[in-house]
Amino acid sequence: MSKDPALPARVFAKGACYYLVVADGKKRVWNKLSKVRDGLPAMYTALAKMLSADDRDGSMAQLIADWEAEVMVKHSAKTQIDERARGAKIAARFADFQVVDVTPPDVVEFLKPFRAKPRTFNLYRAQIGELMRFAIEKGLRDPGTNPVTAVVRTMSTPPRKRCPTTSELRRVKIGCLYGDDGKRTRSGLTMACLIELAYLTGQDVSVMIRLRDQRDPLHPDEPHVHKDGVFFRRDKTGNAVLVEWTPRLRAVIAALRRIRAERRLKRTAAPRADTAFLFTRQSGEPLTYSAVANAWQEGIRRSKVLPFMFRDIRARALTDTALRGGMRAANAMGTHTTEAQTADYVRSKTARKTRATA
């Protein structure tokens, strides 16, 4: 069974449940945690309860596990995936450390390999600092002894300049649609629709994959298809936008509905899940951020374009919107609080035009 990188160490999804796998001599014992359908928060709660008092020895590994179970589960799904990946590297590096023994030089030494990537450096710095704050909260370190916040400085990060062209977006769609063998991939059509929707609406992956076919009375602020367009509320700002219908926008929503309908018609030995979400996996379950990330990397590799991030599509969308309808239109799509934020964002992605001096 392959290990899902989105799950903590020694935790596996098997059938309909999550299990903690522990070694007992040469045997592996599967301890049931919770049902998959109850979500990751329930799994982390069960995991925290299962860990015995003897295991809570003040080690960095245990601190990270406790932080993930108590704090990280309150974050968005996308953020949790990133934090879990960083937590695994931090745990590996500080495997032999007690929480109380971590010093500023230890943190500086750990962060050295990331100095060439300021954004990555800052993310790891912030996460270690948060872990140390959590340790102080739990009484594992004395107040005022956070080895990060008062000593290790953040690095300045230059603004991103990558703005993929229309041709590059088309080539990545093709890279997602067709595998190395030239045959259609299972996730290709869904990924092509996701890329198209990102360009047409300027929204983030974590928001788009939660798009529902219609408004849910229990979750009215969740992204959904509206009679006048497509409604989104961005996680970072909480600001909402209704992207009005265009022929291309109608076409991509119609394509998503066809894909979902076709999957419902397929019959297998196991019943297929049904969901109100438009972005789904082959099983009919909602599309996950980790699945998107894996398919995106493969699409980029096969397209042979200069690599760029999925969120750079947002730059292309806001830039084209600003050129077509002005900064106010781009601000509405980007759901920024001020037009100045949008202006800075767009201008870093495209050159302004001017006439020659003479």
In a domain, 201, yes or no: yes
Q: Note whether 117 and 203 are same-domain residues.
A: no
Give pLDDT tens digits for 242-295: 999 999 999 999 999 999 888 877 755 455 555 789 999 888 788 988 899 999
Looking at residue 15, the DSSP 8-state letter turns out to be: T
Question: Taking a C-beta distance cutoff of 8 angstroms, is the pair 322, 346 a contact?
Answer: yes
> Could you give the CA distance from residue 243 to residue 231 in angstroms, rounded to a whole number?
6
In a domain, 207, yes or no: yes
Q: Note whether 115 and 263 are same-domain residues.
A: no
> Could you give the CA distance from residue 128 to residue 29 in angstroms, rounded to a whole number?
32
188 against 235, higher pLDDT: 188
Domain limits for position 189: 166-347
Residue 25's φ and ψ, nearest 5 degrees, are 70, -125
In a domain, 352, yes or no: no
Q: Note whether 205 and 340 are same-domain residues.
A: yes
> Could you give the CA distance from residue 155 to residue 146 in angstroms, rounded to a whole number?
18
Tokens 């934020």 map to which residue?
A: 341
In a domain, 307, yes or no: yes
Q: Note whether 342 and 222 are same-domain residues.
A: yes
Q: DSSP for 233-244, please give it.
A: E-TTT--EEEEE
Which pLDDT belongs to residue 338? 66
85 against 158, higher pLDDT: 85
Beta sheet of 27-35, edge-to-edge order = 11-14, 17-24, 27-35
In a domain, 241, yes or no: yes
Q: Note whether 184 and 231 are same-domain residues.
A: yes
Strands 240-244 and 17-24: unpaired
Q: Note whether 193 and 253 are same-domain residues.
A: yes
Give pLDDT tens digits for 199-225: 999 998 989 999 999 998 888 889 999
In a domain, 90, yes or no: yes
Number of structural domains (the chain) is 2
Q: Note whether 332 and 198 are same-domain residues.
A: yes
Among residues 119, 137, 155, the one where a domain terminates is 137
Beta bridge partners of 241: 232
Specify burial of residue 60 (Cβ count, 10 A radius: 0-12, 13-18, 19+).
buried
Task: Tell me the CATH number at 243.
Answer: 1.10.443.10
Q: Note whether 123 and 193 are same-domain residues.
A: no
Q: Note whether 129 and 240 are same-domain residues.
A: no
Among residues 118, 137, 156, the one where a domain terminates is 137
Task: Tell me the CATH number at 114.
Answer: 1.10.150
Tokens 């009375």 map to which residue?
A: 217
What does the chain come to in residues?
358
pTM over 0.85: no
Q: Note whether 343 and 249 are same-domain residues.
A: yes
Q: What percent of the chain shows pLDDT beyond 90?
A: 45
Q: Note whether 322 and 256 are same-domain residues.
A: yes
Which pLDDT belongs to residue 31? 86
End-to-end CA distance of the chain: 70
Q: DSSP for 57-85, please give it.
A: SSBHHHHHHHHHHHTGGGS-HHHHHHHHH
Question: Taking a C-beta distance cutoff of 8 angstroms, is the pair 331, 347 a contact?
Answer: no
Give the CA distances from residue 132 to residues 65, 141, 146, 201, 253, in Å, rounded to whole numbers and listed in that order: 13, 8, 6, 39, 45
Specify burial of residue 114 (Cβ count, 10 A radius: 0-12, 13-18, 19+).
middle
Looking at residue 94, the DSSP 8-state letter turns out to be: T
- Compute the chain's Rg from CA coordinates: 23
In a domain, 245, yes or no: yes
In a domain, 152, yes or no: no
Q: Note whether 255 and 299 are same-domain residues.
A: yes
Among residues 137, 155, 189, the one where a domain terminates is 137
Strands 17-24 and 11-14: antiparallel
> Could you give the CA distance from residue 32 to residue 16 in angstroms, rounded to a whole number?
10
